[in-house]
Amino acid sequence: MSRLFSALYAIFPLAALALMLWKARDYAQLCREKGETLPRSSWAWMLPSAVMLAVIAVWGVLGLLEGSFLAIVMPVACVLIVACGLVCLHRIEVWRWYDSQEPIRQRRLRRGLGLLVVVLGMLTIEVPYNMLMPLGGPTYFWLEMLLCGLLLLALYLVGQRHAVACVPAMAFFFVAGMSQHFVKRFKNSAILPTDLLVLNTAAAVTKEYVFSFNEQTLLGLTVFMVALASLALVRPARLGMSLTRLPNTRLHNTVGSIASLALLVTLILGPNYMHHLGVSIEYWYSITYYQRQGFLPTFIAVMQDMPIRKPEGYTDEGAQELTQQYARQYRDEVEKDEAHQQAAQQFEELKPTVIAIMNESFADLSVYDGMHCGYEGPQFFRSGFGDALARGTLNVSVHGAGTCNTEFEFLTGNSLGFVGAGKYPYSIYDLSDVDAIAQQFVSWGYHTYAMHPNYATNWNRHKVYPQMGFETFLSIDDFGGSPNVAVDTQTPNEPHYEVFHSGVSDAGTYERILQLLEEDEAPQLIFDVTMQNHGSYNQDNIPAAYQTHYLPTDFEGDETPERLNEYLACIKKSDDDLREFVRALREVERPVVLVFFGDHQPTLSAAYNDYWYQDEPEDVHARRAYSTEYVIWANYDVAGRMQQSAEDETSVDMLAAQTLDLIGAPVSDFQAAQLAIRDQIPSLSASDYQGDDRTWYVPEDDGSPFAKAYHDLSLIEYLNFARRI
């Protein structure tokens, strides 16, 4: 929708606001003529409706209203919000009518209104992001109703039976629902408990997104207004006056509130939501499960799933013995491998610098049958590494977001499959005692650098990187001071780094890497987390030279060609920057190993995957979206190694050990065990693993021919990670 049409739609809320204020003025005048005073509380209850209409109008003027059915939804929403405001203003008259009813009818009305408030509370959460409720099943529907009802009842009694005490709960429901709405739109995923631990990171990255209102946003806002209007109609009960059959004293209300809270806590912490209540979660499709089962039940189930589960039969001694057994198996093999021995001797002599680049959202979307429009992917990446040591598909555990989890798997070698897909280790664990590759390189006399041209506090990197062994962390302060500062706005004394799309370009970080190679003669480990390809992809800031104009055929999903082309333009720029960087590395007079990989696909790829590939096994469907690409390359001839003739599929947690093995670097017992098990399980992710037969299995599949190897790896990784945090 154009900015002009968005501004035209602002007429509706402005007209509705004017109508509501006009009616409110007339009603206040009528009350004065009757010698009555309109209570301030009535004005206060009406105020949110007026504010909401003003907010919608402002969003329209700013060009932030969008949607195909806005012409229908907008006037309906405005009429309902006006009605809510006027109902709040007339609440005293409603109470008078209520007082005129017989006691039995009053109790029925009060109970009905109470049930309506609870239903509206639940809908305030669900409607902004979920139109499936209660189609997910009556159990989940009533469970969420009970959770909402107990919280509202506890606050109602704490407030001595004044409905205004329930407003914070209703506001909480509203914030949860609207937050989930935007998380779904931006990331196509659900809010997980660990997301609450990284709100500062979320606030930083959401600056690049546009918070526009669509039809579902307006419906969510309207339901919230109806919920508040319903609360406004709840008749306050003076102490000693019971409008129900329950006693109404401070003591009884306090006891009732404590009992309600106790029951709520018991309901949250008591039953196992997955085992006892049938709530399930598949982290690859978290938003689908939230929609089927409701926000609160699923959120609680995920929260209960957060502790790292100890594998069946685990003991420290047994896991240590398994580690040594597999490590011996690997070392017995490499001792017989002359090529590996040559590479190992060469590594000791050369001590090559290792540069690992985790490129933001870098993926080859040509795997979606050329995006049905002839897209051929990043050209240099596909054809410019004929002398690569290894390259191929990289299976990852996240999609659209969760960069830190790909980092975690690469830097520690631990898989999210054994930690938990919905967890962010950077945010919830102390990693000081966890082995990481940076610590290895430090022990070999290397200088270790991490760089990310954004805020150091994002994903707690300022704390995590030193814990992992990085001696120097270059953040946005080392790249000009702002994630997307224009070059011409920097002071003359500051270094100038190119900016593209969402921040400092890939080329800008490569420039800094080349500076480090010139400034520091010691062998180095450099870990670069890029920024330019970060969403959103509706920023409309791509230079003409990089704009693309692909138009997928036979696609009628929610994604727009504009967003796709903005993303593909970013990949085109990344590909060009990578080509120039590799060209520069070929000319560097020191041995360098480059590991380049994408952290995840962009959120938008899920829409194409779901639309074009509907009738296929779930694991195949998910694997297409949960994969990127990687390459391992050196600017010197690694002794005993030949050029990679075929693609080698792997996963992020295996990538570091695989790199060390290829260049002949020493590996730890844990990494040696990983490499030995890789003969049976070449790749794994947060939800499944790949056997040597190229078939993907879920951990629960006891019939898998690789079930024992997977279980052994779970024991080894529990010892290597979970026992150390």
Q: SS3 string of 630-698? A: EEEEECCCCCCCCCCCCCCCEEHHHHHHHHHHHHCCCCCHHHHHHHHHCCCCCEECCCCEECCCCCEEC
For residue 625, what pLDDT is reported? Answer: 93
Question: Which pLDDT value is given to residue 494?
Answer: 55
| Arithmetic mean of pLDDT, 571-595 | 97
Pairing of strands 683-684, 689-690: antiparallel
pLDDT computed for residue 36 by the predictor? 83
More confident residue, 203 or 229: 229
DSSP letter at 311 equals P
Q: How many Cβ atoms sit within 10 Å of the Cβ of residue 144?
A: 26
**In the predicted model, is pLDDT for residue 448 greater than 90?**
yes
Most confident of 130-139, 158-167, 272-281, 437-446: 437-446
Average pLDDT for 605-627: 90
Query: What is the mean pLDDT of the segment spanning 210-222?
Result: 90
pLDDT at 188 over 80: no
Q: What is the pLDDT of residue 708?
A: 95
- For residue 530, give the amino acid letter: T
Cα separation of 683 and 689, whole Å? 6
Cα(178)–Cα(549) distance, rounded to whole angstroms? Answer: 33
Q: Are 721 and 418 in contact (CB under 8 A)?
A: yes
pLDDT at 243 over 60: no
Q: What is the mean pLDDT of residues 532-555?
A: 93
Averaged pLDDT of the chain: 90
Q: Are residues 366 and 372 in contact, defined by beta-carbon separation less than 8 angstroms?
A: no
* pLDDT band at residue 490 under the 50/70/90 scheme: very low
- pLDDT of 400 strictly over 70: yes
Q: Which residues contact 38 (CB under 8 A, 6 or more apart)?
A: 27, 28, 31, 89, 92
**If you average pLDDT over residues 121-146, what whole number do you get?**
86
Q: How confident is the model at residue 241 (pLDDT cuts 50, 70, 90)?
A: low
| Residue 390, H or E segment | strand 390-395
pLDDT of residue 483: 58
Q: Which residue has the tokens 């979320």?
A: 202
Backbone angles phi, psi at 192, to 5 degrees: -110, 155
Percentage above 90 pLDDT, the chain? 66
What number is the average pLDDT over the span 203-216?
Answer: 77
- Region 122-148: mean pLDDT is 86
Torsion of CA 122, 123, 127, 129, to 10 degrees: 0
Report the alpha-carbon distance of residue 79 to residue 72 in Å, rounded.
Answer: 11
Dump pLDDT digits (tens) for 38-84.
Answer: 889 999 999 999 999 999 999 989 888 888 888 899 999 999 999 99
More reliable by pLDDT, 249 or 721? 721
For CA atoms 499, 502, 503, 509, the dihedral sign is negative
Lowest mean pLDDT among 432-441, 553-562, 664-673: 553-562
3-state secondary structure string, 554-578? CCCCCCCHHHHHHHHHHHHHHHHHH
Q: Are 210 and 63 in contact (CB under 8 A)?
A: no
Query: How high is the pLDDT of residue 488?
Result: 41
Instruction: Evaluate if residue 487 carries a pLDDT over 50.
Output: no
Return the H-helix or E-strand segment holding 263: helix 250-269
568-595 average pLDDT score: 97
Q: How far apart are CA 5 and CA 241, in angstroms?
A: 54
Helix (H, G, I), strand (E, B) or coil at 524: strand
